[in-house]
């Protein structure tokens, strides 16, 4: 299935980024926030976004003890980073999600569905034993393909 997204407007022309969700004959039924793989045309710039946490721009940790609130802040930070590179959340093709507690899986994925348009990025989600800051519950790194400017 192929999707087209308008990722940005530059100098009066609309830049369009295509992402194709890849499925295989052996793929299981997937939840709505998951893609087996994403294919992206090999044009544009690759943007590698470091792990984003629930750190607010003013420096405080948002949602201490609340994985849902932290995931919203993490996604807002991802959005800010991809926009600074000239893209949108639709340009993010891959994410790695790190959780302090797998019990937060459903909450985190529900928030991700609100921030990432279809098809969702290819993703990996793992539980980790510790973050750099003890208050962090979620961290997400990402790779985006942004149209060249």
pTM for the structure as a whole: 0.78
Nearest Cα to Cα of residue 55 among 149, 120, 136 = 136
Helix 105-115 to helix 67-84 angle (10° resolution) is 30
pLDDT > 60? residue 27: yes
Alpha-carbon Rg for the chain, nearest whole angstrom, is: 16
pLDDT > 80? residue 86: yes
Pairing label, strands 45-52, 138-146: antiparallel
Of 15-19, 38-42, 138-142, where does mean pLDDT reach its minimum?
A: 15-19
- Tokens 């590179």 sit at which residue? 85
pLDDT value for 28: 66
pLDDT > 50? residue 145: yes
């Amino acid at each position: 299935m192929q999707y087209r997204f308008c990722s940005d407007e530059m100098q009066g022309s609309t830049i369009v980024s295509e992402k194709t969700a890849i499925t295989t004959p052996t793929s299981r039924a997937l939840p709505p926030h998951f893609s087996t793989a994403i294919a992206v045309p090999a044009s544009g710039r690759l943007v590698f976004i470091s792990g984003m946490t629930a750190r607010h721009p003013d420096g405080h940790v948002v949602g201490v003890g609340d994985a849902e609130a932290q995931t919203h802040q993490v996604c807002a930070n991802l959005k800010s980073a991809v926009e600074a590179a000239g893209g949108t959340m639709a340009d993010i093709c891959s994410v790695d999600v790190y959780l302090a507690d797998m019990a937060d899986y459903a909450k985190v994925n529900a928030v991700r569905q609100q921030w990432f348009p279809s098809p969702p990025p290819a993703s990996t989600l793992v539980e980790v034993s510790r973050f750099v800051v003890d208050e962090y519950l979620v961290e997400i790194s990402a790779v985006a393909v942004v149209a060249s400017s």
